[in-house]
């Protein structure tokens, strides 16, 4: 079955790192180095995609000895990211504050739930592409994605939880899946939680029938003896590691994929010297063995873009997501 819309422009762009870490960038980075611990904010509770990115990158950078200062992981939940963005926006020019970002930085403002969008902050680097995954409890009656979709059509009140706000990433991903399967996208009973961790807690507590979340953040809860079972993943091909046994949507007859890009942004008007330092830091991180091991375990795909390229990509994403939200009836045309 063919999707009535696609999340256009979300395919990972894998760029050669060598082309992005030239001498000019290195010279700029030499002009500034952090003088104290760097606040690295995950705009949600522990356990979600932002939190996983923040803690994984911070750990690899520390273990590989790439930075002279510690990257301190800090969780600031609320509003699908809006609470953290409002705090960060007030700290203009601070070179010692970063935050993890992904599609909600565009989707939440488009839905009118935040006055701050990507244009208020400084793009630093896009790092990876993740994918959506649909989970149920291990004792669930739903054995595959088709059975869950059929139940969604027959029982409109059947609830699917996610770790992002209404109209944001997990909601859009689930709505697109439903639409591709022939259901009403706007009719999905999506229940928002403040992060992937809270969504999983509610799944295990029986408060929702299924959860849609990032495959990377779910990978640690899958495998032998797991209390959850994965029904499908939104990647075009099967992922590696513990996710290798999870069939794609397309394998199950639903012609739909959804990519979740993730990256890093900084405070408004971050000094260019600090941006150059962080660009080089994350580019070096992506070349380490420690990163390769973590990335493969989480099912991520490298998709590096430097600050300028990431900024242009975010502008394009705003246009494309605006079209998708309009098609789904989640914002006015």
In the prediction, which pLDDT does 332 show?
Answer: 64
Which residue pairs, CB below 8 angstroms and at least 24 apart, start in 51-59?
51/75, 51/100, 51/195, 51/196, 51/197, 51/217, 52/214, 52/216, 52/217, 52/298, 53/100, 53/127, 53/128, 53/262, 54/100, 56/294, 56/298, 57/127, 57/264, 57/282, 57/285, 59/294
Give yes or no: residues 135 and 125 share one domain.
no
User: Bigger pLDDT: 15 or 75?
Assistant: 75
* pLDDT(67) > 70: yes
Asked, for residue 227, whether it belongs to a domain, the answer is: yes
* pLDDT(26) > 60: no
* pLDDT(2) > 50: no
In the prediction, which pLDDT does 14 show?
Answer: 37
User: Bigger pLDDT: 33 or 18?
Assistant: 33
* pLDDT(165) > 90: no
Q: What is the mean pLDDT of the chain?
A: 88
pLDDT category of residue 30 using cuts at 50, 70 and 90: low
Query: Using the 8-state DSSP alphabet, how is residue 195 labeled?
Result: S
In the prediction, which pLDDT does 196 show?
Answer: 83
Structure tokens of 207? Answer: 């408060």
The residue from 217, 252, 287 where one domain ends is 252
Rounded mean pLDDT, 295-300: 88
Is the Cα dihedral 53, 295, 257, 201 positive or negative? negative
Give yes or no: residues 151 and 86 share one domain.
no
Asked, for residue 41, whether it belongs to a domain, the answer is: yes
In the prediction, which pLDDT does 19 show?
Answer: 44
The tally of domains found in the chain comes to 2
Rounded mean pLDDT, 306-319: 96
Asked, for residue 10, whether it belongs to a domain, the answer is: no
Give yes or no: residues 31 and 174 share one domain.
no
Asked, for residue 9, whether it belongs to a domain, the answer is: no
User: Bigger pLDDT: 28 or 303?
Assistant: 303
Give yes or no: residues 76 and 165 share one domain.
no
Asked, for residue 7, whether it belongs to a domain, the answer is: no
* pLDDT(7) > 90: no
Q: Are 302 and 56 spatial neighbours (Cβ–Cβ below 8 Å)?
A: no
Q: What is the CATH number of the domain that holds 248?
A: 3.40.190.10
Rounded mean pLDDT, 37-60: 94
* pLDDT(324) > 70: yes
pLDDT category of residue 272 using cuts at 50, 70 and 90: very high
Rounded mean pLDDT, 54-77: 96
Asked, for residue 12, whether it belongs to a domain, the answer is: no
Percent of the chain with pLDDT over 90: 68
Q: Cα 22–28–33 angle (5° rounding)?
A: 120
Rounded mean pLDDT, 184-197: 87
CA 145 centroid distance within chain: 22
Give yes or no: residues 186 and 248 share one domain.
yes
User: Bigger pLDDT: 60 or 196?
Assistant: 60
In the prediction, which pLDDT does 186 show?
Answer: 83
* pLDDT(15) > 50: no
The residue from 228, 252, 276 where one domain ends is 252
The residue from 252, 273, 303 where one domain ends is 252
Give yes or no: residues 226 and 268 share one domain.
no
In the prediction, which pLDDT does 318 show?
Answer: 93
- Gyration radius from the chain CA atoms: 19
- For residue range 144-161, what is the model confidence (pLDDT) as tens digits? 999 999 999 999 899 999
Q: Are 199 and 213 spatial neighbours (Cβ–Cβ below 8 Å)?
A: yes
Q: What is the CATH number of the domain that holds 94?
A: 3.40.190.150
pLDDT category of residue 6 using cuts at 50, 70 and 90: very low
* pLDDT(276) > 60: yes
Give yes or no: residues 139 and 182 share one domain.
yes
Give yes or no: residues 157 and 107 share one domain.
no
- For residue range 80-134, what is the model confidence (pLDDT) as tens digits? 899 999 999 999 999 999 999 999 999 999 988 899 999 999 999 999 999 999 9
Give yes or no: residues 274 and 314 share one domain.
yes
Asked, for residue 305, whether it belongs to a domain, the answer is: yes
Give yes or no: residues 237 and 290 share one domain.
no
- CA nearest 215: which of 128, 134, 282, 303? 134
Rounded mean pLDDT, 248-274: 96
In the prediction, which pLDDT does 333 show?
Answer: 55
Give yes or no: residues 204 and 265 share one domain.
no
Whole domain around residue 165: which residue ranges? 131-252
* pLDDT(294) > 90: yes
Asked, for residue 332, whether it belongs to a domain, the answer is: no
Give yes or no: residues 125 and 53 share one domain.
yes
């Amino acid at each position: 079955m063919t999707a009535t819309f696609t999340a256009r422009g979300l395919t990972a762009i894998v760029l050669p790192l060598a082309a992005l870490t030239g001498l000019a960038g290195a010279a700029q980075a030499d002009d500034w180095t952090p003088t104290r611990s760097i606040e690295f904010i995950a705009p949600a509770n522990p356990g979600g995609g932002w939190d996983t990115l923040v803690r994984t990158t911070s750990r690899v950078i520390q273990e590989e000895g790439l930075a002279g200062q510690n990257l301190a992981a800090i969780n600031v939940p609320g509003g699908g990211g809006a609470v953290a963005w409002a705090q960060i926006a007030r700290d203009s020019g601070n070179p010692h504050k970063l935050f993890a970002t992904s599609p909600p930085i565009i989707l939440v403002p488009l839905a009118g739930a935040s006055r701050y969008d990507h244009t208020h902050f400084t793009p630093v680097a896009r790092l990876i592409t993740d994918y959506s995954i649909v989970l149920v409890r291990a004792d669930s009656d739903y054995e595959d994605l088709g059975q869950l979709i059929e139940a969604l059509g027959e029982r409109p009140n059947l609830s699917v939880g996610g770790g992002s706000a209404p109209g944001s990433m997990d909601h859009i991903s689930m709505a697109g899946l439903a639409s591709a399967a022939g259901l009403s996208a706007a009719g999905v009973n999506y229940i928002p939680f403040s992060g992937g961790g809270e969504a999983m807690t509610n799944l295990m507590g029986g408060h929702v029938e299924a959860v849609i979340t990032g495959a990377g953040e779910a990978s640690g809860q899958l495998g032998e003896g797991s209390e959850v079972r994965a029904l499908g993943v939104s990647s075009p091909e099967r992922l590696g590691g513990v996710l290798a046994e999870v069939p794609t949507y397309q394998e199950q007859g639903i012609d739909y994929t959804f990519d979740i890009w993730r990256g890093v942004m900084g405070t408004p008007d971050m000094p260019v010297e600090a941006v150059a330092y962080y660009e080089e830091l994350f580019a070096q991180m992506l070349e380490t063995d420690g990163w390769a091991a973590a990335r493969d375990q989480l099912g991520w795909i490298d998709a590096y873009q430097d600050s300028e390229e990431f900024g242009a990509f975010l502008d394009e994403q705003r246009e494309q997501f605006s079209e998708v939200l309009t098609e789904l009836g989640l914002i006015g045309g």
